[in-house]
Chain A
């Protein structure tokens, strides 16, 4: 699946902490403007894989990783790539909504711009990002209110707006809806569908049905290995590997 239009191209990726390897020899390509869902049982390494894509993995104690990760052909793991600049091209949304508690809604969305000293009209960017995150109508009259005054689902969309404000090219989402109720989850999923047109999205989820609803391609990880990677429709109707079949039909454990 290594096509020239692949936005992300991972080859022989190994990563772990200390002498413990978490993921081994992962090879995968992600086409631009598509959604890749990463599924697998707990501890299979899917979060570690995700965090390698924006080099957040290396911030953990004793973390190490080897292998090539090409973003538009540029190896992000090479020595002369600044991880800080990388993270402005590859944004991340986390499992639990984590707005900055002492800042207002406006300041939260603009945080990436202000802290990175990005010049320009912040108010415009904030409005655009909140609209993209389908939150603008709900908060446009109270941009100065504390971010904590929003509900859980709104806070998560706020975090998405915050990530979008710095205009990344790739958006990584680590179980973004697992802390949300079904309606908020549906809104976030609809959002992912809309964002796909402009961004490349990689989403880790332990909810198989969510992966099925939201993604174009699905990658199944098991015990640190990428077992199968194919079109989502194929993974859920006729997977080729028996392990994938067992996981997807609930025969694990």
Chain B
């Protein structure tokens, strides 16, 4: 009986330690949420969401254009980066055991380790210099370069997880290989791929450094992709390093908005994916 009681005690101790570790892991997340919400909520009002920023000294103003700008840049980045990333992932999963496949995989791994500021400089050289101006599209290219490697690797893993029997079932029906890969295999892996895409998009939405010398910033509304565009992250950066308390407050509030935005993107995409998985027509 003693051994049994001893084991029960050890079990309890271990469970408590695990619980404490879990709490410890949640602590930074908790503190981030707490700080951002408590500091930022004060500055939130309708104007904040919809108005343009005011010059120093003037009260009021908002980050309306930055919100629109972030959405715009990220949307463009998705248009470039999602097909490239998912496409590369599917290629690696289906035909990746070749020399070309290994080369692509290696490139993706290297790229995913490149610091984001370096990617920003690369985009500067690739897009801003030939266009002779800062623009949303340059920012989108920078973000896309950041998205593609992780998306490709993630998609590859997920597509490889699709059982061979599904592929064979489609091939057995007389469906050509490329269509099988895209419309059957990928569709089966879609849930996971959507999550991987979300992670990539969330990362891109939160990037600051690459946008500094590509999209630059803009004090006004802008919907043209070939013009400098405001973004929440750059705006937060500008507000935060300024010497003004008012702007510090705006930085907290903008940070809260960014958090809400990313969270909102997450939840929406999750809800959409769940419906698809249920097989609704």
Contact = CB atoms under 8 A, between A and B. Distances in A.
Query: Direct A–B touching in the complex (beta carbon < 8 Å)?
Result: yes
A242 B169 CA distance: 38
Interface stretch (A23-31, A111-119, A127-135, A185-193): A111-119
**A interface: dominant SS:** mixed
B281 A144 contact: yes
B169 A98 contact: yes
For chain A, which range describes its interface: under 10, 10 to 19, 20 to 34, or 35 or more residues?
20 to 34
Interface string B242-281: 0000000000000000000000000000000000111111
Given A85-B174, A91-B172, A163-B172, A98 B165 contact: yes
B160 interface: no
Interface residues of B, number: 25
A100 B168 contact: no
A99 to B, nearest CB: 8
Given A94-B165, A146-B278, A147-B279, A101 B188 contact: yes
Interface in A54-103: 54, 56, 59, 84-88, 91-92, 94, 96, 98-103
A98 B168 contact: yes
Interface of B: 163, 165-166, 168-176, 179, 183-184, 187-188, 190-191, 276-281
A116 B173 contact: yes
A84 B188 contact: no
B166 A101 contact: yes
Contacts of B280: 104, 144
B174 A86 contact: yes
A107 to B, nearest CB: 7
B171 A87 contact: yes
A115 B168 contact: no
A159 B276 CA distance: 21
B4 to A, nearest CB: 41
A103 B173 contact: no
Interface in A119-156: 144-147
Interface of A: 54, 56, 59, 84-88, 91-92, 94, 96, 98-104, 106-107, 111-112, 115-116, 144-147, 159, 162-163, 166
B279 A112 contact: no
B183 A115 contact: yes
28 contacts: A87-B171, A87-B172, A88-B174, A91-B173, A94-B168, A94-B172, A96-B165, A98-B168, A99-B169, A100-B169, A100-B184, A100-B188, A101-B188, A102-B277, A102-B279, A103-B279, A104-B281, A107-B279, A115-B179, A115-B183, A116-B175, A144-B280, A144-B281, A145-B279, A146-B279, A147-B279, A163-B173, A166-B174
A109 to B, nearest CB: 11
A43 B174 CA distance: 27
B209 to A, nearest CB: 38
B279 A84 contact: no
B173 A88 contact: yes
A159 B256 CA distance: 51
A116 B276 CA distance: 22
A87 B173 contact: yes
Contacts of B276: 102
A100 B188 CA distance: 7
A86 B184 CA distance: 20
Contacts of A87: 171-174
Nearest to A168: B174
A99 B172 CA distance: 12
Contacts of B279: 102-104, 107, 144-147
Contacts of B188: 100-102
B29 to A, nearest CB: 32
A107 B183 CA distance: 13
A100 B279 CA distance: 10
A54 B173 CA distance: 10
Contacts of A115: 170, 173, 175, 179, 183-184
